[in-house]
Amino acid sequence: MRPTFVPGDWLIADRRAYRSQPPRPGELVLAADPREPSRTLLKRVAHVAPGGATWLEGDNPAASTDSRHFGAVPREALRGRIRLRYWPLRRTRSRQND
């Protein structure tokens, strides 16, 4: 997710965000990797299809493995919504619109 996030950034995720509402385009989410479900991906929601299938994209298309490679993910694969980065302090700020 460079340049938005880099290794070492500490994030706060709302793991209940999608229990009652669908994701919205532009939101940053944690999702189960469809190729290896025990692995968690950090991606941006590009769009949501009827039925809840979510198209995810990385912020660096040239270096990102995302829905262009593995297709849309089901809503059940979403593990949380990123609310903010809290470390390192010099890079701390909210990453979502509420």
Q: What is the pTM of this model?
A: 0.85
Q: How many angstroms from the chain centroid is the CA of residue 35?
A: 16
Q: Residue 10 pLDDT more than 50?
A: yes
**pLDDT, the chain, mean:** 90
Q: 34-73, pLDDT tens digit by residue?
A: 999 999 999 999 999 999 999 999 999 899 999 999 999 9
The reported pLDDT for the residue numbered 90 is 67
For the chain, domains (ranges, CATH) are 10-89 (2.10.109.10)
Residues 68, 76: Cα–Cα separation, whole Å: 19
The reported pLDDT for the residue numbered 98 is 41
The reported pLDDT for the residue numbered 3 is 80
